[in-house]
């Protein structure tokens, strides 16, 4: 059995590999994601992260903090990428983006089985040029399609 904190680091390693299929190493088949932009289960994670890697090229994730308490693992991450394809309804801008997240996972065995996150998505949309005034001209749901 892996140390739960190692799972938070494995998440970043998978993100940095740009290979969505690798989430099978980390996420249970019946994964519950409380992010409304990602379909449930491992299949939903693979689908969304595949979209992420196609549209946010050169993604790099740094683990800022990671710790475990009981059956929960918390990770605080900084992501950098270039917006090269349409992401959550926002056309490619070519912009370099920086996103921060705090993720909480429930762990069973050596797999993530449930997930919650908080993201600076409004700021990311602004970096993409989609939301400079606070209005949402794309019609995209700011919480739809957020990663995990």
Residue 89 domain-assigned (yes or no): yes
Per-residue pLDDT, 145: 47
Residue 148 domain-assigned (yes or no): no
Residue 52 domain-assigned (yes or no): yes
Residue 145 domain-assigned (yes or no): no
Residue 28 domain-assigned (yes or no): yes
Domain that holds residue 64: 4-127
111-119 and 27-33 as β-strands: parallel, antiparallel, unpaired?
A: parallel
Residue-wise pLDDT for 54-72, tens only, equals: 999 999 999 999 999 999 9
C-alpha distance across the termini of the chain, in Å: 22
Per-residue pLDDT, 56: 97
Least confidently predicted of 1-5, 32-36, 87-91, 108-112:
1-5
Residue 92 domain-assigned (yes or no): yes
Question: Which positions ≥6 away from 55 have C-beta within 8 Å?
Answer: 83, 84, 85, 86, 87, 92
Does the pLDDT at position 116 exceed 90?
A: yes
Residue 144 domain-assigned (yes or no): no
CATH number at residue 97: 3.10.450.50
Region 112-122: mean pLDDT is: 95
Residue 69 domain-assigned (yes or no): yes
Per-residue pLDDT, 133: 55
Instruction: Name the percent of the chain in helix, strand, coil, to the closest 5.
Output: 30, 40, 35
Per-residue pLDDT, 136: 44
Beta strands in the chain (DSSP E): 27-33, 56-69, 72-83, 96-108, 111-119
Residue-wise pLDDT for 16-26, tens only, equals: 999 999 999 99
Tell me the pTM.
0.86
Question: Which positions ≥6 away from 66 have C-beta within 8 Å?
Answer: 5, 8, 9, 73, 74, 75, 76
Q: Report the number of distinct structural domains present in the chain.
A: 1
């Amino acid at each position: 059995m892996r140390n739960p904190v190692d799972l938070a680091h494995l998440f970043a390693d998978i993100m940095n590999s740009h290979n969505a299929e690798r989430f099978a190493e980390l996420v249970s088949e019946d994964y519950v994601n409380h992010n409304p932009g990602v379909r449930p289960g491992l299949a939903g994670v693979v689908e969304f992260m595949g979209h992420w890697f196609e549209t946010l090229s050169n993604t790099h994730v740094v683990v800022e903090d990671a710790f475990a308490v009981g059956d929960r693992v918390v990770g605080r991450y900084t992501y950098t990428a270039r917006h090269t394809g349409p992401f959550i309804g926002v056309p490619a801008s070519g912009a370099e983006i920086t996103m921060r997240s705090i993720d909480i996972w429930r762990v069973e065995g050596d797999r993530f089985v449930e997930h919650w996150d908080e993201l600076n998505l409004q700021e990311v949309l602004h970096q993409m040029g989609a939301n400079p005034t606070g209005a949402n001209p794309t019609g995209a749901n700011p919480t739809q399609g957020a990663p995990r």
